Structure 1
């Protein structure tokens, strides 16, 4: 196949069976735990047992790998992928991580540090100088960009250069940006993480994760971890993610356009104290995101005037928006993040995260506007 096709096209065609008469257009779901085998096992054996391989996994991994410009491995969840990424840190190694990272990843890192498995340093990921100062003596830097839920933008190129100079590897959670807006491996990352539950699947009906790398040694270690730990993705789930991936381009285009309109209107609303969205020209991450990304994404966050009470009234005052955790689906979701006990204290109490879906932009705005009127 042509390597010149766009990522939008690859999202549709990658991982499909070869063009042969009678072949299915879409990859089938391979439901089996056991494979027929004969003779000695070798490194090239595809099917032996369902914990080590599956044709539906391979189709999904091919597709994600093409989009992220590396080799992908799928996992049972985004956190299963995150746990595998943490396992790459050698015992006693030092991890540098954002102090406002996704709460469960940060909680797991702190758990590993408390157990003496690793040492942990947390930094403001938007403060490039502070991150660079923390790198000497570290083994890994693991970050998100944009971050969840503060929508901070990390200077990936500068951090990758500094990490390389200090012998530090970088893992980047690319869930918010998706491979269509950003490719961290091209910017110097060693591993890319996705919660495929979110934009890649896009329909709020599956839990899945993925890691992508170009480093064969890291790939082998991750594959061994997945097999030994049993953190495998079911074939039905893999098929659902792959089906969702086919519409990623059109979904994200619509969601991003709507998010931009809503961010501008919210930014001008008297009931809103602050809007966080890299697409706003006054956002601290705007210039960097414009250079580093191919779009600003469909996630935003706001802080209403009036603090926690106002945030709660907003969340419970909407009718079309859905008060719920998660993101990246076709429906628009919002939630006050600090209602979650493990959310980092760096996240403001009143911050409301919004995941923009595919509903009509005017309907979404009217719903927010009437809820804000109650605030």
Structure 2
């Protein structure tokens, strides 16, 4: 993508303008889908000619270019067949016998993967409360890799990313940041000094709950080479059609994030006053423990709200009673989703049983609130819970 050298494009322009084909007569404005498993004989395989679909596909390139640019990476990102495939590649950076420091709360798939690798003896695993900066700092002397997620899934704890990343880098510790909840429009961890940024592209980047993809971004050429080697050898490659859909979804990322964040803030304010709830977790609330930290380092507060009810029965009743919200797992799509998280077998035991996670979409906020309000009404103290 070309633009005037004296004018830096804004993020909401980059999502639209990046990854476009060259401006040539009769050329398409959108990159085409290339459906081929193999390519014409390479002149020199050593220089990176495509050769075979497990190594490269022209449809990946525009998306990888766009995401790398959005994250502020010096290199194109790498797309994977799933977020967990990307997580596996990121964990491959840990030397055998090394030490991984990971949040006690994070994406359940990443936690389960790390637990499995640790159980096999690949590395030692240390769990921390990422909101407790001193606790994390105390682990860095022996760590090889620090895995961060902020806000965490689903507890929405906020880490001091600047302090933790700077300390890790000073100690020679590789830093991986899962940026799925934030997107690069809300946070760019590479700017803080992180080595690798991870995304479940399935979520906000693609944005329509119709693909399963992951991605990693880095500015370190040697690290990218290692990650690319892992993708090629382990085969966690993305289908061209899915990546094309993800790039199409990326075009509206700025609009979707702006709307869903505004909706989330509106709903969180309403929910915080509701008597049926015992706690509302959302960094955008001034009363939230992570509010000031999030305000200092993020460009927004995200679109995920976690609420806690009196007990499991109340949580299940809420999910069963909504009509506009969709009772389903995952997050980051245009539609609003609701789920009691501990129904998932991989969720940490420290997540409250009655915690319900809301992924706020882009519907009319009044409609979203009306649906929640009618579902919560019988759960008020003294309410009619028999309906």
Q: TM-score range by the shorter chain?
A: over 0.9
CA displacement 1:332-351 (0-9 Å, x = unmatched): 00100001111001211111
**1:284: Cα distance to partner?**
0.7
Does 1:265 pair with 2:264?
no
What TM-score, normalized by structure 2, do the two folds share? 0.95
1:152 to 148, 151, 157: 157
Aligned equivalents of 2:158, 2:43: Cα separation in 1:
52
Aligned to 1:51: 54
Q: How does 1:201-350 map to 2 (within 5 A)?
A: 201-304=206-309, 306-350=310-354
Aligned equivalents of 1:322, 1:21: Cα separation in 2:
45
Q: How does 1:59-78 map to 2 (within 5 A)?
A: 59-70=62-73, 71=75, 72-78=77-83
Do the aligned partners of 1:313 and 1:374 also contact (CA within 8 Å) in 2? no
Q: CA 1:4–1:40 in structure 2 vs 1: closer, same or farther (change >3 Å)?
A: closer
Do the aligned partners of 1:175 and 1:199 also contact (CA within 8 Å) in 2? yes
**1:313: Cα distance to partner?**
0.7
Do the aligned partners of 1:314 and 1:374 also contact (CA within 8 Å) in 2? no
Aligned equivalents of 1:60, 1:319: Cα separation in 2:
35
Aligned to 1:370: 374
**1:315: Cα distance to partner?**
0.8
SS at match of 2:289: coil
Do the aligned partners of 2:42 and 2:51 also contact (CA within 8 Å) in 1? no
2:193 to 177, 184, 188: 188
1:7 to 1, 7, 11: 11
4+ aligned runs moved over 3 Å, structure 1: none
Aligned equivalents of 1:106, 1:268: Cα separation in 2:
33
Aligned to 2:384: none
Aligned to 2:98: 93
**1:166: Cα distance to partner?**
1.6
Aligned to 1:23: 27
Q: CA 1:91–1:300 in structure 2 vs 1: closer, same or farther (change >3 Å)?
A: same
Structure 1, unaligned runs of 5 or more: none
Aligned equivalents of 1:75, 1:342: Cα separation in 2:
22
Aligned equivalents of 1:229, 1:221: Cα separation in 2:
12
Aligned equivalents of 1:114, 1:38: Cα separation in 2:
42
Aligned equivalents of 1:120, 1:23: Cα separation in 2:
51
Structure 1 residues 104-113 or 197-206, which shifts more? 104-113
Structure 2, unaligned runs of 5 or more: 380-387
SS at match of 1:130: helix
Aligned to 2:382: none
**1:44: Cα distance to partner?**
4.0
Do the aligned partners of 1:202 and 1:245 also contact (CA within 8 Å) in 2? yes
Aligned to 2:183: 178
Aligned equivalents of 1:38, 1:239: Cα separation in 2:
25
Aligned equivalents of 1:240, 1:51: Cα separation in 2:
19
Aligned equivalents of 2:83, 2:370: Cα separation in 1:
33
Equivalences, count: 373
**1:308: Cα distance to partner?**
1.1
SS at match of 1:194: strand
SS at match of 1:180: coil
